[in-house]
Copies of this chain bind each other. A is one copy, B any other.
Amino acid sequence: MRAGGRTELWDRAAAACVLTLSLGCLHVIALKSQLFPGLVPRAAGPPINYKTLYFDQKIDHFGFLEDGTFKQRYLVADKHWEQPGGPVLFYTGNEGDITWFCNNTGFMWEVAEELGAMLVFAEHRYYGESLPFGQDSYSDSKHLNYLTSEQALADFAVLIQNLKSTRPGAEHSPVIAVGGSYGGMLSAWFRMKYPNIVVGALASSAPIWQFPGMVPCGDFYKTVTQDFARSGSHCGANIRKSWKAINNVSSTASGLQWLSEEFSLCTPLKNKMDSVSFKNWLQETWVNLAMVDYPYEADFLQPLPRWPIQVVCKYLGFYSTVSDYQLLHGVSKAAKVYYNYTGSSSCLNTSQTATGSLGSLGWTYQACTEMVMPMCTDGVQDMFEPEEWNFQAFSDECNAMFGVRPRADWAGVVYGGKDLAAHSNIIFSNGGLDPWSAGGVTHNITDSLVSVMIPDGAHHLDLRYSNDFDPPSVRAARALEVGYFRQWIRQARKARPKKSTP
């Protein structure tokens, strides 16, 4: 990890993006979301239809001085809902525009009819349209003060309570939380903290243990490396060699120019700092590929071929020593699989991960406060340049950027760390290809805190629309998940308490 300083902070924001993508990197999500207004076409399945609604949420659930409200956006689809009492599948929105999550969670749309369920997608505060202080929401740390997971969970709880008490037929509807990635962490935590509100939770690809002291900080990048190693001979080894090659080539002005042309960069590399950013950008590219290594053509983060890492690795199969230039030519071809599969990009933009978009800033703030997720590389068990986890440097950077310091232990205290056995009715699903599985729950904790592994799955594959190329493991996972949903719904109906009122 690099030291602080204003310019490098934004570098760090970019790097934080690497570390937290799809948990983070909201600029991508923000761009994507513009593709899907209201009634939208999708890659698979029929067009989906929902109502866009707004709920007046308290800005601060945990204090009474700030009594203002903001409009929280949520989407409702009740075409298949069997009222009264039909279940509700409630998506606990992550760090981005909720319409994007809505459109990328085909699983919920596919099971709605089967379960007679209403679908609700609730936007996370400070993202999309749900801005507590409008355009001022990100203006300073004072306005950012209410951007926490606890506030978001309270939003969800209050919203559901309101839906139940105002929507005819919903009073006794069992509600199941569903979420992926950070949204999956929220769905698990939601069940833990508000079991009165949700009868169970599906936490897909939710790295709830990616916090200090819970899992080794190097496992994330080890998983990325394994994905490349298994997708082509010498593939990971050649990426490991590429960093030194970049260092060598970028040490001269002509080398920088060559690199810029070889990678068709929109903005040519000019100096050493540019080459550091360039390496960060490449590192993020490999991480993103590991996350979206889906068995079919998809455009989750980028339009990509099926099993994209296999395609990438075709360009990185050198089995003997080649020149730095030959190696980097292969790397360039590989990167273009990710950035220019459709052939429509005239140049590659390495600064995109450093964009100060709302979403990206929001997650960076969350990483700088509660969501402290240690990551490290050693260059031996992984294919990256060695970099230790340095909490103090990270904290100093956060302080310089936002005037806040992360609390390393808080997430563990408030969300239970590894001591979860007292909770119930949570499915933790993880993909074996997904680097975030390193911080996920990948073994059963109890009979009702269960792990569902999808060995051939990347990041929350189970939440996506079904596809002919789906491996059997994800089909089985979805069937199991629906089975648990049914069980929780039955339990809830059986156990419904008799209420007395004054």
- Interfacial residues, chain A to chain B (CB-CB below 8 A): 58, 61-65, 67, 141-142, 144-146, 148, 150-151, 154, 157-158, 161, 193-197, 213-218, 369, 374, 376, 389, 403-405, 407, 409-410, 412-414, 416-425, 495, 497, 499-502
Contact = CB atoms under 8 A, between A and B. Distances in A.
Contacts of A418: 497, 499
How many copies of this protein are present in the complex?
2
A197 B157 contact: no
Nearest to A495: B421
A419 B63 contact: no
A75 to B, nearest CB: 22
Given A64-B369, A65-B404, A421-B497, 12 more contacts: A63-B146, A64-B141, A64-B405, A65-B403, A154-B413, A158-B413, A161-B409, A161-B412, A194-B414, A195-B423, A213-B501, A422-B424
A216 B412 CA distance: 39
B148 A63 contact: yes
B62 A157 contact: no
- Interface residues of A: mostly helix, strand, loop or mixed? loop
Nearest to A148: B62
Contacts of A158: 413
Contacts of A389: 502
B67 A405 contact: yes
A250 B498 CA distance: 47
Nearest to A374: B502
B157 A413 contact: yes
Nearest to A140: B65
Given A65-B404, A158-B413, A369-B64, A193 B195 contact: no
A453 to B, nearest CB: 18
A495 B420 CA distance: 11
A420 B145 contact: no
A414 B154 contact: yes
Contact of A145 (B65, B161, B194, B214): B65
Contact of A218 (B217, B412, B419, B502): B502
Contacts of A412: 161
A455 B194 CA distance: 33
21 contacts: A63-B148, A64-B145, A64-B148, A67-B404, A154-B414, A157-B413, A161-B412, A161-B413, A194-B413, A194-B414, A195-B416, A195-B419, A196-B417, A196-B419, A196-B422, A216-B501, A418-B497, A418-B499, A421-B495, A422-B423, A422-B424
Contacts of A218: 502
